[in-house]
Amino acid sequence: MPENYQRKPDWLKVRFPAGKNFARIDRYHREKGLNTVCRSAACPNQGECWSQGTATFMILGNDCSRHCRFCNVDSGPLSPPDPQEPAKVAQAILELQLKHAVITSVTRDDLADGGAGHFVALIEEIRRRTSACRIELLIPDLQGNWQALGQIVSAQPDILGHNIETVPRLYPEVRPEANYQRSLDLLAEVRRQSKQIVTKSGVMLGMGETEAELRQVMRDLRKHHCRILTLGQYLAPSKAHYPVQRYVTPDEFSSLAIKGRELGFDHVEAGPLVRSSYHAEEQFMASQKGD
């Protein structure tokens, strides 16, 4: 496998973080001891999103039970979930006056319910404080525990996402502890349990997938009732991570967005810097309009 560490093209350059909103969220992040995937996963959009006053919270600790080769989140010793975390995050959402909150987590295979109860507690805490905030969750696969998934579905988040990440051929190298079919089945199970919740998934490009493989993943996602799709460029966090195989051009992303809409996705957000939570509120609103 080639170690393809070529120079990033101009379209992947991002603005340096700045502005009052960035400083406010950065300060809140440090003072309150909260985790955001923006920082933990080294998201390239941290400057833009924080400057606009939005952030994606990460719960259940800052260490993951899995060892995906693309991810910047640490795989270290796991601590018990903080019982105060749901209230802390909900209070942060209230104080930051967010209208669309995105919450994800590390994978916690060590927990019997995969952390489902923690997600439920957080939804309840948010709704106890405000009815004006839309709730979007990005959850792990829960090891196929559909009873645990049912707890989350019963709490009725507005959007429930689970990322497929890449094509099935690359799973053994890129995310060996995950299962492609199980991830698809999770999305279908959400739809089976609730037709009101909007389902969402994301794929990273430039990891060595072919266009034919990617199109098949898109068809599989639609077959399993995924409504919103995000497509973004994979960026290796370090030389120790899975190497970038190529940089996908903006024109290619635009073409894939058109093909996604033709397949029947309510909305496709595609671009080099797109991540699951990038323009999340706009993605949801576009899906409600049928894009």
As a whole number, the mean pLDDT across the chain is: 86
pLDDT at res. 41? 46
Boundaries of domain holding 21? 10-288
CA 78-240-274 angle, 5° bins: 85
Question: Is 47 part of a structural domain of the chain?
Answer: yes
Question: Is 283 part of a structural domain of the chain?
Answer: yes
* CATH number of domain containing 14: 3.20.20.70
Q: Say how far apart CA 283 and CA 62 lie, in whole Å.
A: 27
Question: Is 2 part of a structural domain of the chain?
Answer: no
Question: Is 36 part of a structural domain of the chain?
Answer: yes
Total domain count for the chain? Answer: 1
Question: Is 184 part of a structural domain of the chain?
Answer: yes
pLDDT at res. 7? 72
Question: Is 1 part of a structural domain of the chain?
Answer: no
Q: Which of 279, 168, 162 is nearest to 213 (CA)?
A: 168
Q: What is the pTM of this model?
A: 0.86
Q: Say how far apart CA 249 and CA 164 lie, in whole Å.
A: 21
Q: Say how far apart CA 214 and CA 201 lie, in whole Å.
A: 13
pLDDT at res. 200? 96
Q: Say how far apart CA 2 and CA 71 lie, in whole Å.
A: 19
pLDDT at res. 157? 97
Question: Is 119 part of a structural domain of the chain?
Answer: yes
pLDDT at res. 276? 77
Q: SS3 of 267, please?
A: strand
- All residue ranges of the chain with pLDDT < 50 are 1-3, 38, 40-41, 51, 53, 291
DSSP state of 105: E
Question: Is 174 part of a structural domain of the chain?
Answer: yes
